[in-house]
Chain A
């Protein structure tokens, strides 16, 4: 390049600065920046709205209105003919709701002969009281004939009214609790015999058509079985597949095919895996419908790509010098991988596995197709028994119309999100603490 030579003697007059529209351009710059901030604000707003909607609807589900009743386990009601020694079924089929109703009527000072009032009284107590009192008697038959203080569950409507979820301002005939019931409720509250207690039933009960006795206990067991199956199958298979692809496979068409395939599988809609499970595991292999084993297998196939992708990047992050060193002192290739590379990649693999499991835990659609939407009230004893899963339970409750079920659904979602949060935070901590940077 040559320097331009300005001829001596000619002086340039000072020109005014050319207008390059700086003002406009800076305004555009500001606008662009604001768009970005607005976009992030929208995202965060919806995150907050979603969490707020779930938590504000759901935190009350962890408390349940209960009534303290001095229940007289009257022999003339439970076992009028005194034959429980010979026929244990008597204790099973006895009229327990009557015991609770009578106890409540006595407490409120109502004449048990007044049919109309007794009906209202009966509606204050959950129908689940039958099972509750039965369990008391079955556990200890000697209580028959005595009076015991029992905290029984209030019915869903009383529960909702007590939590202020029913608008008591509107006319009596347009809501599900009568003024009389509300008055009784207040009376019991005054005397300290009606209060909100921690709803342990939410964690232990199974599916139920009555909100107050519905819980996610059974669904949790189903989800637990499935996670166990996913972990036991997908971790070894995923790690083995990644080791082969990353450390042993020659780069050829076959491994290229496998690689493209795995990336595609990770993006296949989850419902397609449900169809696969239905056609292969249930229709062809004749595994039982709605069993957690089928759910576990389907989720395993879904989780595999996630685990393989995470494991491969963890293996890739181990520097080649480790491999060369191991091979250099005489290790075989297999020894190099299993004794040196794999242990160093383990934290990364674990992180990927936890994230994969968290995804599997929240997955719903494929489970609907393999029949896990069944109404399951009993704990599954083995993975071959009919079971349901936490997200499916949420889906089923979301379809119920009652206000109390909205609360339960949100409560179940809080439990699900709690599990997911624990898993993801564990993964993050693992990544920060254990993973080595090279």
Chain B
């Protein structure tokens, strides 16, 4: 029986349990002399939960355990010679058997007598159905694959029967507990609370998932490339560092990527911070409510535009414009390349304007009215009030906001992928192309992946670096913002 069918049956049992349980509660409460404890639908829900939850949990556990068990069984059934060889090839052979088993299932071959004895016979039949199997699949794997399929069938049958049995037992138990004074509401609410707690831990699990998945692959990566070469290498050239070749050193250098990332982020901030901050000051201190109600949402539209659109804008409009402009200025060949630090930084700066302005706007308006009035009352002009009173008071918050913005600039991907170029080099010239960590993550992970080669794994090391970098900035920024907020509230 397919898992979907089993789940539907379990759900049906649950729904039937709900209806029956509710009915039973109704009939009991109708003639009861005592005051009923829970309303009738709580009894129904309790039966439903008892029928569905344990059964599904059991099913999930069984599936996880049986997959591992069957994989182990296949592995240990492999002939001696493969078992003794390297781990990789044993895992490979297990994978081949797995694929073959899947293929045989599609062909509808399930016992040894129908199955072809050699792979040569089998391969054309598989190919006809569009199933790809490794070409060096061995003959001895066919019986193993059949055995595996038989084992899977047994396991799935057992799983279905037991799951349904669990479901029925749960429903019957809950049904038997229904009574006038039974505390069904409390039980249902306890389960609901557990579900709420579980949902709130998903956020934690995501972080753990991020950290562990990247840590794991990063450690893998550092087994083939030393951390010193990664963190302090100044040359990024992963292509020549084929796995196992001796001269792999120094070619996964992080420095050029980090420099490009920081340089582009710096250019973006150089553009976004004055513009965003001044816009925020104007809107908070000078603009009439009418102007504010038009301009603020318009600027926030910039924040809602997907970064891919900014990337396209840089690629099609800003890059060529700067190139042609520089050609006109120089009167000869253009000195700004279409893909350059300047293009990427400028367009990223546009994207960051609304972040800077709306974050600082919130912080500036949070400065207490009394400080403003005090300064104005002493005869300061508005701009003096802003410069001498409001900005100093809001400074920690603004620094926090700028840190948040900078971490966004560092982690931004699509704009730099399309506007910064892919050449990893160190230069001070903002008119030339540089590349960033995020661009290289995308480059290394699009196309064919091999989770054993350093070329793929380096992306995780880069991701880890990026994560740690932005996390540190975010934590620091949130700390500052939080601390600052407490002062005035």
Contact = CB atoms under 8 A, between A and B. Distances in A.
Given A36-B282, A244-B199, A332-B189, A43 B275 contact: yes
Given A264-B474, A270-B413, A276-B206, A29 B382 contact: yes
Interface in B170-200: 185, 189, 192-193, 195-200
Contacts of B279: 36, 39-40, 43
B454 interface: no
B411 A272 contact: yes
A261 B204 contact: yes
A368 B446 contact: yes
Interface in B402-421: 404, 407-408, 410-414, 417-418
Contact of B467 (A32, A38, A248, A272): A272
Contacts of A394: 308-309, 312
10 contacts: A43-B279, A43-B299, A43-B357, A44-B295, A260-B475, A268-B210, A269-B407, A271-B463, A332-B189, A398-B312
Given A36-B279, A36-B282, A279-B214, A44 B209 contact: no
A368 B181 CA distance: 58
A315 to B, nearest CB: 12
A394 B407 CA distance: 26
Contacts of A54: 309, 312-313
A26 B381 contact: yes
Nearest to B386: A32
A202 interface: no
Nearest to A369: B445
Given A36-B278, A275-B214, A275-B460, A245 B295 contact: no
A238 B276 CA distance: 32
A120 to B, nearest CB: 30
B290 interface: no
Given A261-B207, A275-B463, A398-B315, A417 B305 contact: yes
B282 A39 contact: yes
B286 interface: yes
B310 interface: yes
Interface string B442-482: 10011001010000000110010011001100110010000
Given A237-B202, A280-B209, A369 B441 contact: yes
B268 to A, nearest CB: 13
Interface in A392-426: 394-395, 398, 406, 409-410, 413, 416-417, 420, 424
A342 B75 CA distance: 52
Nearest to B306: A362
A136 interface: no
Shortest Cβ-Cβ A-B pairs, 10 listed: A269-B411, A36-B282, A362-B306, A279-B213, A240-B199, A39-B278, A32-B383, A365-B413, A244-B196, A241-B200
Interface string A242-279: 01110011000000011011111101111111111011
B325 interface: no
A57 interface: yes
Contact of A33 (B216, B286, B350, B441): B286
A38 B381 CA distance: 20
A180 interface: no
Contact of A269 (B203, B387, B413): B413
Interface string B296-327: 00110110111111111101110000000000
B339 interface: no
A171 B411 CA distance: 46
B274 interface: yes
Contact of B304 (A243, A262, A420): A420
A310 interface: no
Contacts of B277: 39
Contacts of A406: 316
A40 B299 contact: yes
Contacts of A262: 203
A352 interface: no
Contacts of A362: 305-309
A77 to B, nearest CB: 31
A28 interface: yes
Contact of A271 (B199, B382, B411, B446): B411
Contacts of B414: 364-365, 395
Contact of A267 (B192, B381, B384, B470): B470
Given A33-B382, A43-B357, A276-B210, 12 more contacts: A36-B281, A57-B316, A236-B199, A261-B203, A268-B470, A269-B410, A270-B413, A271-B438, A284-B213, A362-B308, A368-B445, A395-B417
A358 interface: yes
A62 B459 CA distance: 39
B255 interface: no
Contact of B199 (A237, A263, A270): A237
Contacts of B478: 260, 263-264
A283 B357 CA distance: 41
Contacts of A42: 275, 353
A61 B126 CA distance: 44
Contacts of A244: 193, 196-197, 199-200
A390 B356 CA distance: 28
B28 to A, nearest CB: 21
Give the most central of B414, B441, B449: most A CB within 10 Å: B414
B283 interface: yes
Q: Which secondary structure characterizes the binding site on chain B?
A: helix
B283 A40 contact: yes
A47 B466 contact: no
A268 B478 CA distance: 13
A332 B185 CA distance: 9
Interface in B251-310: 274-279, 281-283, 286, 295, 298-299, 301-302, 304-310
Give the most central of A276, A304, A417: most B CB within 10 Å: A276
Interface residues of A, number: 85
A257 B381 CA distance: 44
A37 interface: yes
Contacts of B386: 32
A416 B309 contact: yes
Contacts of B412: 269
A42 B277 CA distance: 12
Nearest to A240: B199
B205 to A, nearest CB: 9
B201 interface: yes
A244 B203 CA distance: 13
Contacts of A395: 308, 311, 414, 417-418
B317 A270 contact: no
A35 interface: yes
A302 to B, nearest CB: 9
A279 B206 contact: no
A365 B438 contact: yes
A269 B308 contact: no
B455 to A, nearest CB: 14
B21 to A, nearest CB: 19
A50 B309 contact: yes
B313 A50 contact: yes
Nearest to B211: A276
B217 interface: yes
B289 to A, nearest CB: 15
Given A49-B317, A240-B196, A267-B404, A275 B459 contact: yes
A398 B202 CA distance: 36
A240 B200 contact: yes
A304 B411 contact: no
A185 B305 CA distance: 39
Given A237-B199, A245-B200, A50 B210 contact: no
Contacts of A143: none
A333 B206 CA distance: 29
A194 B286 CA distance: 57
A177 interface: no
Contacts of B198: 240
B472 to A, nearest CB: 10
